[in-house]
């Protein structure tokens, strides 16, 4: 995005143009049109009025702060159902935020993804309400089964809520959990391997303080260029440029006979992990060394 484009998007946010676009697009989201009840709420708590307040800020971060570039979106957005499997980085889940904004702003018609988030968020004041009002899914078994039983674009991070890497190890994937593969096979969801570059630069974890792990709301307690030096404000990600690539669908629906064999499921999971790692390696090799451009 050039300076003129950035300035134009920033002005749209300031003068309310982005908010007006959000309201217009909310009227065309298939998931809301299909699922909303008479009061305007969908089964997971999303409401157009709440989304109209939340999404302009999400779109501002997507367009102006992270200046996100997306590749391959059109193919995935046209699918009735898909399971997006990307790399992930904590503590701030801005990778998921950018994917949600891409499907809402740049897909036609706009789509609302369903991100399955860690159940610990259900216990955190304010965040649990925010997740619900945005139509996202607390990862308890009943919720997961319900969202997979219908046609949705689902986002799931198989490295888990504790995805944690020092900056020196950036983009070297941790082990993938196997649950996503079991659900994809059982409910005939094609898997979309996805590479996200920018999340590890925006967080830039320099060190882990292991004695503080599990305390203060952190699964892993990080030291970054801004945290804990700036207090909780230091958790907010730095403005690294984000780039997202959605890969070709991977269909594992023919493997239902392997659902009772965790070792066989692990082999399939590792195929997806390797595909995501290959995508990351390929695109990292083509990008500039300076992460903020």
CA angle in degrees (0–180, nearest 5) for 190-191-193: 150
Global confidence as pTM: 0.92
Question: What are the pLDDT digits (tens) for 169-187?
Answer: 999 999 999 999 999 999 9
Q: What DSSP assignment string belongs to 191-244?
A: EEEEEEESHHHHH---EE-GGGTTSTT-SS-EE-SSTTTTGGGGGSPP-PPPEE
pLDDT at 129 over 70: no
Q: Which pLDDT belongs to residue 193? A: 98
What does each C-alpha distance from 269 to 8, 184, 193, 252, 274 come to in angstroms?
43, 11, 11, 10, 9
Question: What are the pLDDT digits (tens) for 193-218?
Answer: 999 999 999 989 999 898 988 887 77
d(CA 88, CA 196): 8
Per-residue pLDDT band at 151 (split at 50, 70, 90) = very high
Question: What are the pLDDT digits (tens) for 87-128?
Answer: 998 777 789 999 999 999 999 999 999 999 876 665 655 555
Sign of the four-CA dihedral 128, 47, 96, 288: negative
Q: First vs last Cα of the chain: how many Å apart?
A: 10
Per-residue pLDDT band at 220 (split at 50, 70, 90) = confident
Question: What are the pLDDT digits (tens) for 47-91?
Answer: 889 899 999 999 999 999 999 999 999 999 999 999 999 999 877
Q: What is the DSSP letter of 41?
A: B
Q: Which pLDDT belongs to residue 162? A: 65
């Amino acid at each position: 995005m050039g300076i003129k484009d950035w300035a134009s998007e920033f002005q749209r946010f300031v003068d309310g143009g982005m908010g007006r676009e959000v309201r217009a697009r909310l009227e065309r989201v298939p998931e809301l049109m299909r699922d909303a009840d008479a009061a305007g709420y969908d089964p997971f708590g999303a409401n157009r009025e709440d989304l109209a307040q939340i999404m302009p800020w999400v779109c501002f971060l997507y367009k102006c702060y992270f200046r996100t570039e997306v590749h391959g979106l059109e193919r995935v957005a046209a699918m009735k159902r898909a399971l997006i499997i990307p790399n992930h980085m904590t503590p701030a889940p801005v990778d998921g935020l950018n994917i949600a904004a891409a499907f809402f702003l740049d897909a036609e018609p706009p789509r609302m993804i369903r991100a399955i988030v860690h159940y610990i968020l259900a216990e955190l004041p304010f965040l649990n309400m925010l997740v619900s009002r945005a139509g996202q899914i607390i990862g308890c078994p009943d919720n997961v089964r319900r969202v997979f039983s219908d046609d949705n674009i689902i986002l799931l991070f198989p490295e888990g809520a504790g995805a944690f890497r020092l900056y020196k190890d950036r983009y070297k994937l941790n082990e993938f959990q196997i649950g996503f593969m079991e659900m994809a096979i059982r409910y005939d969801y094609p898997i979309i391997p996805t590479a996200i570059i920018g999340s590890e630069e925006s967080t830039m974890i320099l060190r882990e303080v292991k004695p503080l792990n599990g305390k203060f709301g952190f699964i892993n307690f990080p030291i970054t260029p801004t945290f804990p030096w700036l207090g909780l404000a230091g958790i907010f990600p730095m403005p690294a440029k984000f780039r997202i690539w959605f890969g070709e669908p991977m269909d594992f629906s023919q493997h239902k006979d392997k659902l009772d064999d965790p070792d066989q499921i692990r082999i399939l999971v590792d195929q997806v992990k390797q595909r995501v790692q290959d995508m990351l390696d390929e695109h990292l090799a083509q990008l500039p060394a300076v992460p903020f451009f």
